[in-house]
Chain A
Amino acid sequence: MTRLNSPEKLECARKDIVSRIDPTKPCISVCAGAGCLASGAAEVIAAFKTELDFHGLTTEVNTKGTGCPGFCERGPIVMIYPEGICYLKVKPEDVPEIVSHTIKEKKVVDRLLYEDPATGTRALRESDIPFYKNQQRNILSENIRLDSKSMDDYLAIGGYSALSKVLFQMTPEEVMGEIKKSNLRGRGGGGFPAWRKWEESRNAPDPIKYVIVNADEGDPGAFMDRALIEGNPHSILEGLIIGAYAVGAHEGFIYVRQEYPLAVENINLAIRQASERGFVGKDILGSGFDFTVKVHMGAGAFVCGESSALMTALEGRAGEPRPKYIHTAVKGVWDHPSVLNNVETWANVPQIINKGADWFTSFGTAGSTGTKIFSLVGKITNTGLVEVPMGVTLRDIITKVGGGIPGGKKFKAVQTGGPSGGCIPEAQLDLPVDFDELTKAGSMMGSGGMIVMDEDTCMVDIARYFIDFLKDESCGKCTPCREGIRQMLAVLTRITAGKGKEGDIELLEELAESMGAALCALGKSAPNPVLSTIRYFRDEYEAHIRDKKCPALSCKEMIAFHIDPAKCKACGSCFRQCPAEAIHGGKKLIHIIDQEKCTKCGTCLDVCPSRFGAVRKISGEPVPAPVPEDKRAIA
């Protein structure tokens, strides 16, 4: 592969690629993102290959493995072009029908289309599906257009034109100016304006500087960075090189967690391809600008997502944070100025350069410009990745995009900001999602995890969950964090075990205050999930402590399972499936749970036929005495 050594050559190469694409040629794109692969996308792709081969269509039909378009829950997702038909939940068994019907006869396989749960109408294209219709997918929409392993695909949709533009038509100061005008704020956590860090590094006298992609994605429940780096790795790389040019850096790092092997593979491939074509390496596109980049795999430590810890890890050491009085933008990796931005932040850069800051600021609010990708998960009908303009309300995301809560359950709270964030209740759902508003509500934007909880989720347990998570993740270097977390966990565990004491809530609040003295943001923000749940769900804490009752019927040590004698029809389902052999059964006998043996696994509740609904969970009240033996017979 020859290196492209001028912008003209790049445009020639692009023209050549585009001219070879026949827009009328059928193409089958299968999402090969992590979610769909987990649902069997690889088998679907293999089935298409076999089937096309069988029909002698291999050269007439293209097949592609693309990045994640967001609707992972309905995967594997298959798109058929040029019609743009969108099939959901495709299984290998469906493939022969798709090939014979849709590819050969141009007919639609109705049952694989999206069906509106309310009206039963089917949607042919992505754009007709409410989940997609209510989004603004500036970044994510590129994923489905690309074979995630093909640089030609990226070039065909205009890839590296922003890089070419900055190298040949803009000074670094002009690039900086455009990013400043766009008011792009960091997508990885704090929402710090990108240009400020860039400028600080640029102005630092040290000639050796670094630019870094943070793809550690530690927030459990967030996966947009994974989708971007897997699906469209060149866009991240292009953003990074543009940043390097603006800052004056010639070396970069991409820090990816090892739990994302496909992301590691695709970004490494992209770097190799880009080096062969002259987008990375010496004298990029003949501009005289040099830039090399290395991938570093994270070895599993949440704290390494924090900027100073990440940089220590890059040096090959244990990633422990250091005090913040010196900015990493001035003294970072090996004490050289280092600009660290999140994956999604970098992904926005090429678009801002190509389309302009004014285009970018036309989305979002004055303080929070552009779009943001959220991972909308938990108790929500449409789970997946959603990209919306900043400033839309949480309610719109949850109802319009997310399709509300499944199973007729009641919404309780939405958690944003990961372990540093908080839970937002129903009463605050009209809050616009923007960096500042979420912080005011006691949560934060964070990296974009949005976990929806319904009436079955216990808010004290959620607080305990996050503190338990952080107990394993605190690096232990400073006492307020280490000890604060340990003590908070002890109190929360006590409360959720039904052993809470009067004054525990106040104790948690006191502990929270003491953690303000922690060294890094992990420790400082650790109390947020606790404080926000106390703030909005104090009654749940009180019910646990005073009434020994878990209102959500979730805390294992405070609940019991009971079979309602009036409802049991002796079908025996629970008896057969109880793993603890805790159920007394028998033909035409009311079934009874032996509370001593019951491990509270919940199986009986799951398997009791809904027309009987005899098994129930109880909390805060005594378990009714078992039916006496002589009264067990069912007439």
Chain B
Amino acid sequence: MDISKIDQIIDKHDGEASSLIQILLDIQSEHNWLPKEALKRVSEKLQVPMSRIQHIATFYKAFSLVPKGRHQVHVCMGTACHVRGAQRVLDTVQEVTGVKSGETDSDLKFSVETVNCLGCCALGPVMEVDGKHHGNIAPSQIASVLNNCE
């Protein structure tokens, strides 16, 4: 891992402890997870105890303390998607990838996660693969979308 990248992120936020969450978000989006060395660096530079960082990293759902797969599959379980069959979408995604929600497979290909509303409820049910939304997705279309992932 490139420590200078972490330093850059910290500097971008003027090294302020109040920006801790923002810094962690940037690291998460850079690496897809929060590596231990990165957190140590943040703790040193911001002079924030490691315990507080750990607490934050577990409290907020955006953070992951383990590496994520190359492809992130998010299934929306918001109310609008729920009434339009989100559970069936999730069931199918889990079946196709063999990965349970909240987990990653052993070759780090897929991470599957449920989210509470992606803000395009009019298109429900919605699945998001690597940032790309698939609206009005039918369970029968899921395999072909996921099979396109390398």
- Of A192-200, A296-304, A509-517, A536-544, the stretch lying at the interface with chain B is A296-304
Is the pair A222, B84 in contact by a Cβ cutoff of 8 Å? no
Is the pair B117, A317 in contact by a Cβ cutoff of 8 Å? no
Q: A222-B121, A579-B95 in contact; A259/B55 too (CB < 8 A)?
A: no
Q: How far is the CA of A415 from the CA of B25 in the complex (A)?
A: 33
B-contact 0/1 string along A111-155, CB 8 Å cutoff = 000000000000000000000000000000000000000000000
B61 to chain A: closest residue by CB? A300
Is the pair A38, B126 in contact by a Cβ cutoff of 8 Å? yes
Is the pair A296, B84 in contact by a Cβ cutoff of 8 Å? no
Q: A372 an interface residue at 8 Å Cβ cutoff? A: no
Is the pair B56, A223 in contact by a Cβ cutoff of 8 Å? no
Q: A453 an interface residue at 8 Å Cβ cutoff? A: yes
Choose among A221, A299, A313 the residue that contacts B63 (Cβ–Cβ < 8 A): A299
Q: How far is the CA of A221 from the CA of B121 in the complex (A)?
A: 6
Is the pair B83, A316 in contact by a Cβ cutoff of 8 Å? no
Most A C-beta atoms less than 10 A away, residue of B17, B25, B134 = B25
B-contact 0/1 string along A182-219, CB 8 Å cutoff = 00000000000000000000000000000000000111
Choose among A73, A296, A378 the residue that contacts B123 (Cβ–Cβ < 8 A): A73
- Of B2-10, B72-80, B103-111, the stretch lying at the interface with chain A is B72-80
Q: B71 an interface residue at 8 Å Cβ cutoff? A: no
B117 to chain A: closest residue by CB? A220
Q: How far is the CB of B44 from chain A (nearest CB, A)?
A: 16
Is the pair B83, A378 in contact by a Cβ cutoff of 8 Å? yes
Is the pair B59, A378 in contact by a Cβ cutoff of 8 Å? no
Q: A259-B118, A601-B92 in contact; A319/B62 too (CB < 8 A)?
A: no
Is the pair B19, A316 in contact by a Cβ cutoff of 8 Å? yes
Q: B100 an interface residue at 8 Å Cβ cutoff? A: no
Chain B residues lying within 8 Å of A302, measured Cβ to Cβ, are: 116
Is the pair A316, B20 in contact by a Cβ cutoff of 8 Å? yes
Query: Chain B at the A interface: mostly helix, strand, loop or mixed?
Result: helix
Q: How far is the CA of A313 from the CA of B115 in the complex (A)?
A: 20
Is the pair B19, A220 in contact by a Cβ cutoff of 8 Å? no
B-contact 0/1 string along A253-291, CB 8 Å cutoff = 000001110000000000000000000000000000000
Is the pair A299, B25 in contact by a Cβ cutoff of 8 Å? yes
Is the pair A469, B116 in contact by a Cβ cutoff of 8 Å? yes
Q: A38-B133, A39-B135 in contact; A72/B122 too (CB < 8 A)?
A: yes
Q: A35 an interface residue at 8 Å Cβ cutoff? A: yes
Is the pair B60, A377 in contact by a Cβ cutoff of 8 Å? no
Q: How far is the CB of B112 from chain A (nearest CB, A)?
A: 16
Is the pair B79, A39 in contact by a Cβ cutoff of 8 Å? no
Q: How far is the CA of A218 from the CA of B61 in the complex (A)?
A: 13
Q: B139 an interface residue at 8 Å Cβ cutoff? A: yes
Chain B residues lying within 8 Å of A565, measured Cβ to Cβ, are: none
* Interchain pairs with CB closer than 8 A, number: 146
Is the pair A383, B140 in contact by a Cβ cutoff of 8 Å? no
A71 to chain B: closest residue by CB? B122
Q: A451 an interface residue at 8 Å Cβ cutoff? A: yes
Choose among B59, B61, B116 the residue that contacts A220 (Cβ–Cβ < 8 A): B116
Chain A residues lying within 8 Å of B80, measured Cβ to Cβ, are: 220-221, 375, 377-378, 383, 449, 451
A-contact 0/1 string along B14-53, CB 8 Å cutoff = 0011111110110000000000000000000000000010
Q: How far is the CA of A318 from the CA of B51 in the complex (A)?
A: 12
Q: A577 an interface residue at 8 Å Cβ cutoff? A: yes
Which B63-91 residues have a C-beta within 8 angstroms of A? Answer: 63, 77-84, 87-88, 91
B-contact 0/1 string along A350-382, CB 8 Å cutoff = 000000000000000000000000010111000
Is the pair A297, B22 in contact by a Cβ cutoff of 8 Å? yes
Q: How far is the CB of B78 from chain A (nearest CB, A)?
A: 3
Q: A37 an interface residue at 8 Å Cβ cutoff? A: yes
Q: How far is the CA of A415 from the CA of B79 in the complex (A)?
A: 9
Is the pair B59, A296 in contact by a Cβ cutoff of 8 Å? no
16 pairs of residues in contact across A and B, judged by CB atoms under 8 Å: A38-B133, A221-B81, A221-B121, A222-B117, A223-B122, A259-B117, A299-B25, A300-B61, A300-B63, A315-B18, A316-B16, A318-B60, A377-B124, A418-B79, A475-B59, A601-B88
If A37-B133, A601-B92 are given as contacts, then 16 extra A-B residue pairs at C-beta distance below 8 Å, sorted by A number, are A38-B123, A217-B117, A220-B78, A220-B79, A220-B80, A221-B80, A299-B60, A300-B61, A300-B62, A316-B17, A377-B79, A378-B80, A378-B83, A418-B79, A469-B77, A603-B140
Interface residues of B (CB under 8 A from A): 16-22, 24-25, 52, 55-56, 59-63, 77-84, 87-88, 91-92, 95, 115-124, 126, 133-135, 138-140
Q: Which 5 A-B pairs have the closest CB atoms?
A: A220-B78, A38-B133, A299-B60, A300-B61, A221-B79
